Amino acid sequence: MFGFLSSKQGKTVPPAQVLDTYNRLRWNAIFGIFIGYAAYYIIRNNFILSTPYLKSELGFDKADIGLISGTSLVIYGLSKGFMSVLADKSNPKWFMIFGLLLSALVNLMMGFSTAFWLFFILVCANGLFQGMGAGPAYVVLASWYPRKGRGLITSIFNSSHNVGGGLVAPITGGAMAWLGSDAEFFGMHSWQMANFIVPVAVVLFIAAIFAIFGVGKTYNEGLPPLNEILHNDKDELVVAKEDGEKLSSWQILKGYILNDKNVWFVSFIDVFTYMIRFGVLTWLPLYLLETKGFSKKDMSVAFAIFEWSAIISTIAAGYLTDTFFKGRRMPLSIICLVIVGAAMFIYKGGDTLGVVTLGAGIIGCFIYVPMFLSSLQTIELVPPFAAGSATGLRGLLSYVLGSFSGTALIGYVAQHYGWDWGFYLLMFAVVACIFCCYMVHLGVLRLEAKKKAGA
């Protein structure tokens, strides 16, 4: 790892100032990763909104777009798995910013690309660098926030990707209106500027703010571990007796991740939620244009609603699981998945913009809840120093299996068998996800009983 990315102990804070420093910097922690992760999504989801232009202007077909999307997501999943393991041993602030800058550079080059294979390579490279975002963010969350109250804080962070994803349509749409549909700039058409260059400019500004105000782990800021600051061992599901800074990445993986069936089950929740999410999100623009006969403007409205509708529900879910469900995350996940299954029929059967948008909005509103709660549950099943590695396994499986199924597989099925069979695959994912949620809930109950018996 590059020296400037490695985890180094900050100047030790005097004991009398530890609590005050912690209370001040924990807000910097959530602010930094929130804007940073939102920025990652601005230069990830811009590709999805560019797909109609790739089809009409560059001649890509559904199979081409499915291949690009699916392959890049597999690379992203592999990268997320590997990079998140490295994030456990890094300063997460600089690790996250470095990945964001590399992703911005690739997007800049995408704006000049017209050939299929060059575009394919660049989108895959973007997937590689996008994998540097999630791991360090969850390392920061595990380092600064205890289980009691972590649901609300993590839900606020989790809404960052909805904010970032939802900002793509206004950014690109506003840029198109400003530039004009027929303009050319430096050899690029206005749609290329709007979908790639303008989002990069926005992201570079956000990265500068992150660099100024963000923080790394408590260790990087000269503070002791969270349990020594708050003395909250009794509230956590898992408390390690080892110093994570002295363990290697392999020791963390072997001792706390690969042998834990709860971590595997919670990872498969992500597999199926990502299959649903990407099965709807990736194909929403083309599905609305081809099957429902909507315009590109209508498609953009539905796309933004799908992303933005999840913000309130995600934050509410964090609060409810902290309070009403007493820190148990899976019962609410199951409730939301049942609602998603019902909304699929509204989305599929609607013939008007209002009805289809309502179905997409309900799916977007509730599918992000189990996705968010699985990410939160993951970092609660392991010690804070293993949060990145646990996030890596979850990310690896969710993108290699879930996102690929939701993009390439559904694209293939829609191309050869029709859109109906794509919906059948999505309904299977809903049922399988409910089963995994139930198994994780049983695992949490066992951990609570074991801790109670030990106390």
256-281 per-position pLDDT tens digit: 888 889 999 999 999 999 888 877 76
Which whole number is the average pLDDT over 78-90? Answer: 89
Sequence-distant (≥ 6) Cβ neighbours of residue 270 within 8 angstroms: 371, 374, 375, 394, 395, 397, 398, 402
> What are the tokens at 358?
């309502």
Residue 94 lies in a domain: yes
The angle subtended at Cα 199 by Cα 193 and Cα 201, nearest 5°, is 95
Higher pLDDT, 187 or 107: 107
Q: Is the pLDDT of residue 203 over 90?
A: yes
Reported as a pLDDT band with limits 50, 70 and 90, residue 287 is: low
Rounded to a whole number of angstroms, the CA Rg of the chain reads 21
Q: Which residue is associated with the tokens 């929740």?
A: 269
pLDDT for the residue 171:
87
Strand partners, 188: 185
Q: Is the pLDDT of residue 296 over 70?
A: no
Residue 187 lies in a domain: yes
Q: What are phi and psi of 259, to 5 degrees?
A: -95, 10
Exposed, middle or buried: residue 317 (CB in 10 Å: 0-12, 13-18, 19+)?
buried
Residue 253 lies in a domain: no
pLDDT for the residue 285:
58
Q: Is the pLDDT of residue 286 over 70?
A: no
Q: Where are the alpha helices (DSSP H) in 58-197?
A: 62-87, 92-110, 116-130, 134-144, 150-158, 160-179, 190-192
Torsion of CA 70, 73, 75, 79, to 10 degrees: -170
Q: Which residue is associated with the tokens 């030790």?
A: 12
pLDDT for the residue 186:
64
> What are the tokens at 88?
């456990």
| Distance, first Cα to last Cα, the chain | 41
Cα 66 to chain centroid distance, Å, stands at 20
pLDDT for the residue 354:
74
Residue 409 lies in a domain: yes
Residue 355 lies in a domain: yes
Of residues 133, 137, 161, 131, the one with CA closest to residue 41: 161
pLDDT for the residue 167:
86
Which whole number is the average pLDDT over 399-411? Answer: 76
Which whole number is the average pLDDT over 11-21? Answer: 91
pLDDT for the residue 1:
53
For the chain, the domain total comes to 1
141 close to 37: Cβ distance less than 8 angstroms: no
The CATH number that applies at residue 399 is: 1.20.1250.20
Q: Which domain holds residue 35?
A: 16-228+258-454
407-441 per-position pLDDT tens digit: 777 777 777 777 777 778 888 889 999 999 999 99
* Alpha carbons within 13 A on the beta-carbon side of 189: 11
Residue 173 lies in a domain: yes
Strand partners, 185: 188
Residue 26 lies in a domain: yes
Strand partners, 90: 6
Q: Is the pLDDT of residue 360 over 80?
A: no
Considering only the C-alpha atoms of the chain, give the largest distance between any 2 of them, rounded to a whole number of Å: 70
Q: Give me the chain's average pLDDT, please.
A: 84
Of residues 325, 347, 345, 323, the one with CA closest to residue 334: 325
Residue 8 lies in a domain: no
Higher pLDDT, 328 or 186: 328
Q: CA-to-CA distance for 122 and 375, rounded, in angstroms?
A: 28
